Structure 1
Amino acid sequence: MTAVAPPHPTSLRQRLSAAPIGAHLAACSIAPRTSEVDRALARMLDDLARPGFWQACEQQIDRARELFARLVGADIDQIAILPNASVAAYQVATSRHWQRRREILTTYAEFPGIAHVWMAHKGLRVRWCGSPSGAVHPDDYLSQITDRTALVSVPAVTYRDSVRLDVRRITDAAHAAGAAVIVDAYQAAGVMPLDVDAMRCDYLVAGTGKYLLGLPGIAFLYVRQPGGTPPTLTGWFGRTAPHALQATVLDSPPHARRFETGTPAAAAVYAAVAGLSLVGGFDLRQVRSHTQRLIAVTTRRLTDQGEMVRVASNLDAQGAHLALVEPHAEAMSAWLGHRRVVTAPRNGVLRLAMHAYTTDEDIDAACEAIAAYRHQTRHPQPRSSR
Structure 2
Amino acid sequence: METSATAVQTAELFDAEEFRRQFPPLEKMVHLASCSQGALSTQLNSSLSDLTSSLTDSGAPWGLWMGEVEKLRERFARFINADPDEIAIVSSASEGAYQVASSFRWDERPGILTSALEFPSVGHVWRAQAAQGSQVHMISDRVDALNAVEWESAINDSLSLVSAPLVSYHDGARPPLREITDLAHTAGARMFVDAYQGAGVVPIDVKELDCDYLVTGSLKYMLGLAGVAFLYVKDGITSERSPELTGWFGRVDPFAFDPELVDYPTTARRFEAGTPAVPAVYAANAGLGILERVDQAQAYEHVSRLSDQLAAGLSDLGIRMSRPADPEHRGPQVAIYDEDPARLSQWLFERGIVTAPRGEILRLSLHYYTTPEDIETALAALRQFRSVR
TM-score bracket, normalised by the shorter chain, equals over 0.9
For this pair of structures, how many residues does the alignment match? 377
Instruction: Return the TM-score normalized by structure 2.
Output: 0.94
Tell me the equivalent position of 1:342: 354
Q: Sequence identity of aligned pairs in percent?
A: 41
Output aligned runs, 1:216-295, within 5 Å: 216-224=226-234, 225-228=236-239, 229-295=241-307
- Superposed displacement of residue 345, structure 1: 0.7
- Superposed displacement of residue 177, structure 1: 0.5
Partner SS, residue 221 of structure 2: coil
Distance 2:258 2:242 in 1: 18
Tell me the equivalent position of 1:381: none
Partner SS, residue 61 of structure 1: helix
Q: Is the contact made by 1:310 and 1:324 (CA closer than 8 Å) also made in structure 2?
A: yes
Correspondent of 1:16 among 5, 23, 39: 23
Correspondent of 1:304 among 316, 338, 343: 316
Distance 2:144 2:57 in 1: 50
| Greater mean alpha carbon deviation, residues 194-203 or residues 10-19 | 10-19
| Greater mean alpha carbon deviation, residues 125-134 or residues 38-47 | 125-134
Change in Cα spacing, 1:255 to 1:214, as seen in structure 2 (3 Å) is same
Output aligned runs, 1:61-140, within 5 Å: 61-121=69-129, 122=131, 123-131=133-141, 136-140=146-150
User: What amino acid is the match of 2:314?
Assistant: L
- Superposed displacement of residue 50, structure 1: 2.1
Distance 1:281 1:126 in 2: 41
Distance 2:15 2:296 in 1: 14
- Superposed displacement of residue 208, structure 1: 0.8
Residue by residue, what CA displacement relative to the aligned partner does 1:290-322 show, whole Å, maximum 9, x if unpaired? Answer: 111001110001100111112222222111011
Partner SS, residue 24 of structure 2: coil
Q: Is the contact made by 1:26 and 1:344 (CA closer than 8 Å) also made in structure 2?
A: yes
Distance 1:6 1:277 in 2: 11
| Greater mean alpha carbon deviation, residues 94-103 or residues 214-223 | 94-103
User: What amino acid is the match of 2:168?
Assistant: T
Residue by residue, what CA displacement relative to the aligned partner does 1:223-256 show, whole Å, maximum 9, x if unpaired? Answer: 0135333211001000011001111111111111
Q: Is the contact made by 2:16 and 2:299 (CA closer than 8 Å) also made in structure 1?
A: no
Tell me the equivalent position of 1:151: 161
Distance 1:162 1:6 in 2: 27
Correspondent of 2:45 among 16, 38, 42: 38
- Superposed displacement of residue 199, structure 1: 0.8
Q: Is the contact made by 1:130 and 1:137 (CA closer than 8 Å) also made in structure 2?
A: no
Partner SS, residue 313 of structure 2: helix
Q: Is the contact made by 1:74 and 1:196 (CA closer than 8 Å) also made in structure 2?
A: yes
Distance 1:245 1:327 in 2: 56
Distance 1:130 1:9 in 2: 38
- Superposed displacement of residue 135, structure 1: 5.9
Distance 2:176 2:298 in 1: 20
Partner SS, residue 42 of structure 1: helix
User: What amino acid is the match of 1:15?
Assistant: Q
- Superposed displacement of residue 146, structure 1: 0.9
| Greater mean alpha carbon deviation, residues 137-146 or residues 242-251 | 137-146
Distance 1:216 1:361 in 2: 29
* Residue segments in structure 1 that go unaligned for 5+ positions in a row: 378-386
Tell me the equivalent position of 2:388: 376
Tell me the equivalent position of 2:9: none
- Superposed displacement of residue 274, structure 1: 0.6
Change in Cα spacing, 1:314 to 1:132, as seen in structure 2 (3 Å) is closer
Distance 2:144 2:182 in 1: 23
Distance 2:53 2:138 in 1: 49
User: What amino acid is the match of 2:282?
Assistant: Y
Q: Is the contact made by 1:6 and 1:287 (CA closer than 8 Å) also made in structure 2?
A: no
User: What amino acid is the match of 2:14?
Assistant: P
Distance 1:176 1:134 in 2: 21
- Superposed displacement of residue 131, structure 1: 0.9
| Greater mean alpha carbon deviation, residues 122-131 or residues 73-82 | 122-131
Tell me the equivalent position of 1:27: 34
Partner SS, residue 222 of structure 2: coil
Distance 1:23 1:292 in 2: 17
Q: Does 1:57 align with 2:65?
A: yes
Distance 1:327 1:145 in 2: 37
Change in Cα spacing, 1:195 to 1:330, as seen in structure 2 (3 Å) is same
Tell me the equivalent position of 2:183: 173
CA RMSD of aligned residues (A): 1.6
| Greater mean alpha carbon deviation, residues 17-26 or residues 34-43 | 17-26
Tell me the equivalent position of 1:47: 54
